[in-house]
Amino acid sequence: MSAPSTPLRLGIAGLGTVGIGVVKIIQAHADLLAARAGRPVQITAICARDRQRNRDADLSGYDWVDRATDLATREDVDVVVELIGGDEGIAKDTMELALDNGKDVVTANKALLAIHGQALAERAEAAGRVIRFEAAVAGGIPVIKTMTESLAGNRIRRVMGVMNGTCNYILTRMQSAGLPYETVFEEARQLGYLEADPTLDVGGIDASHKLAILSSIAFGTRVAFDGVEIEGIERVSIDDINRAADMGYRIKLLGVAQMTARGLEQRMSPCLVPADSPLGQLEGGTNMVVIEGDAVGQIVLRGAGAGEGPTASAVLSDIIEIARGVRMPVFGQPAAGLASPQPARTAVPAAYYLRLTLADKPGALAKVATVLGDGGISIDRMRQYGHESGEAPVLIVTHKTTPEAIEHAMEVLPRTGVITGEPVELRIEEV
Ligand SMILES: NC(=O)C1=CN([C@@H]2O[C@H](COP(=O)(O)OP(=O)(O)OC[C@H]3O[C@@H](n4cnc5c(N)ncnc54)[C@H](OP(=O)(O)O)[C@@H]3O)[C@@H](O)[C@H]2O)C=CC1
Ligand SMILES: N[C@@H](CCO)C(=O)O
């Protein structure tokens, strides 16, 4: 370990939203950081794509390098802070080279860790280096440290949450303004909320990267992004948002991971949650992570999941941890000992919300009830809406049933001849 007065020297790769946020905090809080870390934290060298770009920060005191990988080989860099992004290419190359050259790494790159986390962790641990990534999941919310440190004494039963602010913004804005998905998606684009590839957000992929990382820490397993059942928010209609609200629910893009006797269930999908629950009340771009441990019970963490300040705040927590000499395995236990999880399709029973458009003729509802009854699905609540056409919108909330039974019912219902359009089914998650 370095002598207390030896500065911790950083090479920062990427000077976009997060990178510049990190520079600003280091400049604004130099004394505070030194006091807390027990040593000065200094930026030695920086890198981005375009040297000429105006970045709203004084960067004159730092060496500029044209290739991010050059940060990884410099003698005067102790920690490479990777804030470029992407699951391949320069971010991965820079991180690997940094580890091989004896540097620790701090990153916010959830995509890279979700896909190459195991290999990177093994590489880091073999080299005696650390990779810290508090900012990679839920931005400013300290969920990684909460799970690896504060809840280390618990067997984790379930971890879930809203981990993509853009989707939560779209869903809550659809509800508050009564606007359709397409209109709010366009608004989000104008506001700059969407990733360069928007399917990462609305397709549930970004949130699934985060869920896969949390699962690994929670259950002591290798990161298994491939095992996440993913459904995005593209098929959520304003109709469903309004109808669900009538029944006392909100629709959220919810990630849930739990270890079952059959294996590791990881799902990311639009779900209904009670409107008065903490998750139901989550508005706008905010994130929430709910962790359930056998000793602690339920922990709810809420805060900004993105943005310059919140994400840089999380990056700084990692930098200070390294400056203090705190070192731990990447995913909370040595990577070589992480189990390969058996991926399991969701089988945990739940109540379901069904929306059907019925032909308004005698016996139509009875046919629907028969299909559900034959499939062992019991109706808890039902509502038929007033209508003038020959089609009647009907909502059904079921008692708890299996995803398999619902899937089967969704296949059979259109064959009754009394349904128009596609029936909609959404899981109601207990929170
Ligand atoms: N923004 C957020 O709120 C959050 C972001 N993250 C993660 O943080 C990371 C950074 O995100 P963010 O700051 O938003 O991204 P930005 O797109 O704002 O910034 C990316 C930076 O990387 C630089 N860059 C791109 N390609 C290269 C290259 N080949 N060589 C060197 N530099 C390069 C860009 O340079 P130039 O500026 O010259 O174009 C830019 O400075 C990502 O992994 C992201 O997923 C995590 C949580 C929240
Ligand atoms: N696109 C992400 C950024 C933060 O990871 C979100 O909307 O939450």
Helical packing angle, 181-190 and 165-177, nearest 10°: 130
pLDDT, position 316: 98
Burial of 351 (0-12, 13-18, 19+ CB in 10 A): middle
* Among the ranges given (131-135, 321-325, 344-348), the one the predictor scored with the smallest mean pLDDT: 344-348
Q: What is the CATH number of domain 351-428?
A: 3.30.70.260
Spatial distance between the Cα atoms of 345 and 266, rounded to a whole number of angstroms: 8
CA of 218 to the centre of ligand 1 (A): 28
Q: Which atom of ligand 2 is nearest to the CA of 110?
A: 5
Share of residues in the chain with pLDDT > 70 (%): 99
CA of 164 to the centre of ligand 2 (A): 5
Residue 253 has pLDDT above 90, yes or no: yes
Cβ neighbours, 10 Å, residue 304: 20
CA of 309 to the centre of ligand 1 (A): 14
Q: Which of 103, 210, 252, 400 is catalytic?
A: 210
* Among the ranges given (350-364, 382-396, 400-414), the one the predictor scored with the smallest mean pLDDT: 382-396
Secondary structure element (H or E) that encloses residue 351, with its range: strand 351-359
Enumerate residues 6+ apart whose C-beta is below 8 A from 315.
18, 21, 22, 81, 83, 106, 108, 134, 135
Mean pLDDT of 289-304: 97
Spatial distance between the Cα atoms of 427 and 404, rounded to a whole number of angstroms: 12
Mean pLDDT of 401-408: 97
Domain boundaries defined on the chain? 8-136, 143-304, 351-428
- Any idea what the Cα angle at residue 69 is, between residues 209 and 26, rounded to 5°? 75
50 lines ligand 1 (CB under 6 A): yes
Residue 4 has pLDDT above 60, yes or no: no
Cβ neighbours, 10 Å, residue 204: 28
Q: What is the pLDDT of residues 20-31, one digit of tens each?
A: 999 999 999 999
Q: How many residues does the chain have?
A: 431
CA of 17 to the centre of ligand 1 (A): 7
Q: Do domains 8-136 and 351-428 have the same CATH topology?
A: no
165 lines ligand 2 (CB under 6 A): yes
Q: Which atom of ligand 1 is nearest to the CA of 85?
A: 43
Mean pLDDT of 370-397: 90
| DSSP type of residue 423 | E
Enumerate residues 6+ apart whose C-beta is below 8 A from 255.
160, 161, 162, 163, 207, 208, 210, 211, 228, 266, 267, 268
Q: What is the pTM of this model?
A: 0.96
19 lines ligand 1 (CB under 6 A): yes
Cβ neighbours, 10 Å, residue 192: 7
Q: What is the pLDDT of residues 118-147, one digit of tens each?
A: 999 999 999 999 999 999 999 999 999 999
Mean pLDDT of 402-407: 96
18 lines ligand 1 (CB under 6 A): yes
Binding-site positions for L-homoserine read 195
Enumerate residues 6+ apart whose C-beta is below 8 A from 318.
106, 132, 133, 134, 135
210 catalytic? Reply is: yes
**Which of 143, 164, 208, 282 most suits a substitution to test ligand 2, by most atoms within 8 Å of the C-beta?**
164
- Which residue's alpha carbon is at the smallest distance from atom 32 of ligand 1? 48
Inter-CA distances, 43 with 10, 22, 304, 307, Å = 5, 10, 26, 21
206 lines ligand 2 (CB under 6 A): yes
Ligand nearest to the CA of 163: 2
* Confidence class for position 392, pLDDT limits 50, 70, 90: confident
Residue 388 has pLDDT above 80, yes or no: no
201 lines ligand 2 (CB under 6 A): yes
CB contact burial 162-189 (16+ within 10 A = b; e otherwise): bbbbbbbbbbbbbbeeebebeebbebbe
Q: What is the CATH number of domain 8-136?
A: 3.40.50.720
CATH class name, domain 143-304 = alpha beta
Q: Which atom of ligand 2 is nearest to the CA of 311?
A: 4
**pLDDT, mean over the chain:** 96
